[in-house]
Chain A
Amino acid sequence: MNTTSTERNQEIVRRYTGQPAAMPPEVRRRIEDAWGGGPVQLYALADLDHTLNLSQDWVALGPEHFAIHRLSNNPGSEPRLTIVRLANVREVKEVPGLTCTKVILSGQPGEPALAEFRYSQRQSRAVGALLYVLRQRIEGKSAEHDGADRIYAEGVAKPIREAQASVASNRAAIVWRLLGYLKPYRTQVALGMLAATVMTVVGLVPPYLTGYIIDTVIRPFQDGELSEEAALKTALVIIAGLAAVFVTREAMTWVRLRKMAVLGEHVARDLRNDLYDHLHKLSVSYFSSKQTGSIISRVSSDTDRIWDFIAFGVVEVSLSLLMLIGLGCVLIYLDWQLGLLMTLPVPVMLYMIYRNGRGMQRMFLRAWRKWSNLTDVLSDTIPGIRVVKAFNQETYEKERFGRRNATVTDEFFRIHHRWTAFWPFLLLFVHSMTVAVWFFALPRIVGADPTLTAGTFVSFLLYLGMFFQPIEVFGQMSRMVNRSISSAHRIFEVLDTEPDLTDVKTPVQLDRIEGKVDFENVTFSYDPVRPVLKGISFRVKPGEMVGLVGPSGSGKTTIINLAARFYDPTGGRIMVDGHDLREVDSGAYRQQIGMVLQDPYLFHGSILENIRYGMQTASIENAVEAAQAANAHDFICKLSHGYDTIVGERGHTLSGGERQRISIARAILHNPRILILDEATSSVDTETERKIQEALDRLVTGRTVFAIAHRLSTLTRASRLFVIKEGRLVEQGTHSELLEKTDGVYRKLHDMQRELHEMYAV
């Protein structure tokens, strides 16, 4: 975390919540003056008062005090301060409600509360951080804390960042940045735009020629002012010109479409690559905070929408604008009175289209909601079809679906009524302009002193017909452009996420690690304050197998996450072969780590490919040997496609134990120097467990092994056991050493499991 991310969070707090992005300096000063002992170390907003109205009260924690700063209800009078000495606080109680949580700080039992305040869920992270440290202090423990502003802003901004995942940015900036992706292709863009411009301008020529031929050939010929020969000669030139215009125009259209379509693909491809590369730089914490689907759609459908934008959006919108301006100029040039008559209503029409779009948006929103009501029934009942049948609810479900289907159709009817009425209405408006042109033009042509030629009039009418197209384009494009901008926003959001783990400039290359792992007073927390690991120190010798045991949530998985460098420790350090992990090339390091997890992941592909994942060059012989060692060979051969069976999503579904053995084979083939087993045998039957255990026994020899297990019996091979409790290493030793401690944690766990075993043993 650095200052820039704090500033970003503050920006989000300001923009989206309307509450202060930090504690105002005068509030801080007043509090510090009042308690006269040290700085404000943590603070949060208590945004509800005792009458449950919104308020801007601040709560703050200092080295020895807790303070509440309340604005007075009547303006002008001084804010009220409540200062509580931490030494007097015996208990901090939270009373959670649906939205409001009340916090009570109490002293001696029976006495009134020392202080109380209320906050809404929005403040819960910031308040939670403060209360955590407060409670630690009361219990006499020291708690780490720094960066009050950071913790407050991060806490308030977090849900917003997670939902929108956004840095506050505006549309223009996004379009601009997107256009930046065209830079490498600037000659192509220039060519495409040039072609498009020529195409548009040339498109204005035919109506002009039509008018011209009427005025300079047809009329003079009919009036007898031009000989047949001369008339035909001029006519031929004009016809040739017309032909040339059409050829040029379509040639240009071809260039423009091709260039821009191809360019769009280039940009989409570049974005996809950038995105995917960047995703691999991000740490696991990013992926655990996002839904898989949303990440996938960013790489796939969002980049696809960018194609629309580049291939059509950019060009069509700028060309339509050009076309409108060009048409306006030509019309006014031909005849300024009629020209103005035509161009002045255009802004009105654009406004009408805009208004219509807004109205349609509300209808679409409503229809979308009803639509999702309808699909909810589907996503409910299709996966749950057995429950529906078991409870004989088909009729109910059919009726429910039918009702929602009817309401969504009603919404679509409403939408259709609207647009089917709007476009004819708009066209009528256009036509009324045409009628007006006729109305004003004809007297000027047929009058005694004609001020308008028939040719000009005809050109005019033809231009008029062209007027509608760009306006229509604006109507259609605004939706598409909006969608593309949203997509671009989502893409840039990922690209802007900075990886929290980065390798140092010149990392140490560990080509073959011995497997000596030292944790030196390692602390770690996932969120800003609550530590999960509190000073873990141990030394594991190369080739040693250690078991990690302890209650659920004690931090075992966290320890191995750190050992694999999925996260960096917050304090202390982890040494591998005497090198700080942070200075080691993480790619080369992970190459030598193998993991077998409780719920192993198989990729879509054949079993062979899955076994060879991580060691793509291994020979088939080696893969089979690995499978044999993993006790997997036997069941694989029983499958009708053997090692070629497709597994993973949509593939052949294997049982949990089978998948586990494949992932063990994968680890065996990978031949890691450090092996991590996180509850590798937790959810299988005893026979399978025995098979897996045999496989593991083969796997663990000759490497450093961290094994986590709830069933203590599976750790018999471990040379030492580390007992983890509440983030601390509380006991260590061999199985029998630990059992000797009669009131030890391990002894208790062990006795409990034996009891259970005896109770339920068949």
Chain B
Amino acid sequence: MSQQASTHNSDAAFQPEGLSFRLRRDSAGTVWLDRNGTSTRVHLHLCFPWTEPQRFLSLRDEDKNELALIKDPDELDADSRAALEKLTEESRFVFPITGIESADPDFELRVWKVRTQGGPRQFQTKLDDWPRPLPDGSLLLRDISGDLYHIKDPDALDPKSRRILWAFMD
């Protein structure tokens, strides 16, 4: 933590909800939370990455102590919102799958060969690890290293991908 950063967690309790702080992005790309004249470098934790990705954003310091819980970004001023936007983009990133080449078992693993927006990728899941259906009808896959893959609209994929996916969908 840098020298100017100091946190007074107790202050938070006395602040009314809402605009008691501002978020600011510096030239190095770090996002700071300014409150009562102190600046703290913050990380973003999504409370509901899938059911409510835009709401309930938990801002935490280096030691993962919660500094603020943003129930809705609309509570923030425009600059803070912009800084927040930058923060969320990368932390929320998962590989967006645009097509599936194959999903064949290889002994204990299922080997997925997929196209993602950022290029082709090959990953593995355990044989009995099924894609997780999300409330919005999309599918989420998690590979054995922990990387996440998202199929936004399974029905919009090409016929071959859909045929492969058929066994994994309801």
Contact = CB atoms under 8 A, between A and B. Distances in A.
A104 B25 CA distance: 14
A489 B107 contact: yes
Contact of B49 (A17, A98, A100): A98
A711 interface: no
Contact of B94 (A98, A162, A490): A98
Contacts of A93: 30
A108 to B, nearest CB: 10
Nearest to A116: B29
Interface residues of A, number: 49
Contacts of A16: 109, 111, 122, 124
A122 B27 CA distance: 29
B131 to A, nearest CB: 9
B11 interface: no
A159 B145 contact: yes
Interface in A394-422: 407
A97 B30 contact: no
Contact of B93 (A18, A98, A164, A362): A98
Interface string B133-156: 000000000011111100000000
B166 to A, nearest CB: 7
A52 interface: yes
A293 interface: no
A17 B120 CA distance: 11
Interface in B80-105: 89-95
B10 interface: no
A164 B90 contact: no
B92 A48 contact: no
A615 B128 CA distance: 43
B118 interface: yes
Given A102-B90, A372-B130, A122 B145 contact: yes
B126 A163 contact: yes
B8 interface: no
A35 B91 CA distance: 32
B147 to A, nearest CB: 5
B51 interface: no
Given A48-B118, A486-B107, A121 B146 contact: yes
B128 to A, nearest CB: 6
Contact of A166 (B26, B94, B108, B117): B108
Interface residues of B, number: 45
Secondary structure call for the A interface: mixed
Contacts of A48: 93, 118
A365 B28 contact: no
Contacts of B46: 98
A315 to B, nearest CB: 25
A100 B107 contact: no
Contacts of A163: 108-109, 124, 126, 144
Contact of B124 (A164, A368, A407): A164
Interface string A77-117: 00000000000000101011111101010100111110010
A96 B91 contact: yes
Contact of B167 (A17, A109, A362, A407): A362
Interface string A151-178: 0000000011011111000000000000
Contacts of A95: 43, 90-91
A53 B111 contact: no
Interface string A18-60: 1000000000000000000000000000001001111100000
B7 interface: no
Contacts of B90: 52, 95, 97, 100, 102, 118
Interface string A259-292: 0000000000000000000000000000000000
B166 A160 contact: no
Contacts of A362: 166-167
A53 B148 contact: no
A120 interface: yes
A358 to B, nearest CB: 11
Interface string B13-33: 000000000000011111000
Contacts of B143: 122
A645 interface: no
B166 A369 contact: no
A362 B103 CA distance: 11
A98 B148 contact: yes
B93 A53 contact: no
B91 A124 contact: no
Nearest to A97: B91
Given A118-B90, A165-B108, A18 B122 contact: yes
Contacts of A489: 107
Contacts of B2: 91, 109
B30 to A, nearest CB: 7
A366 interface: yes
A120 to B, nearest CB: 5
Given A160-B124, A163-B124, A54 B119 contact: yes
Contacts of A116: 29
A577 B57 CA distance: 60
A381 B92 CA distance: 33
Contact of B130 (A91, A97, A369, A407): A369
B28 to A, nearest CB: 4
Contacts of B4: 109
B147 A52 contact: no
A64 B93 CA distance: 33
A383 B88 CA distance: 39
A490 B108 contact: yes
B161 interface: no
A430 to B, nearest CB: 30
B170 interface: yes
B118 A54 contact: yes
Nearest to B41: A93
Candidate in B28, B29, B170 with the most chain A CB atoms within 10 angstroms:
B28
A372 B167 CA distance: 13
Contact of B29 (A104, A109, A363, A486): A104
Contacts of B126: 163
Contacts of B144: 159-160, 162-163
B160 interface: no
Nearest to A485: B107
B91 A160 contact: no
A362 B92 CA distance: 32
17 contacts: A16-B111, A16-B122, A18-B122, A48-B93, A54-B116, A97-B91, A98-B94, A99-B146, A110-B26, A110-B28, A112-B27, A113-B28, A120-B95, A121-B145, A164-B124, A166-B107, A366-B168
Interface of B: 2-4, 26-30, 43, 46, 49, 89-95, 106-109, 111, 116-124, 126, 128, 130, 143-148, 166-168, 170
Given A53-B118, A164-B107, A486-B107, 15 more contacts: A16-B124, A17-B122, A18-B121, A53-B119, A93-B30, A99-B95, A110-B27, A113-B29, A121-B147, A124-B146, A163-B108, A163-B124, A164-B124, A369-B168, A486-B108
10 nearest interchain CB pairs?
A53-B118, A97-B91, A54-B119, A121-B146, A122-B145, A365-B167, A366-B167, A54-B118, A164-B108, A163-B144
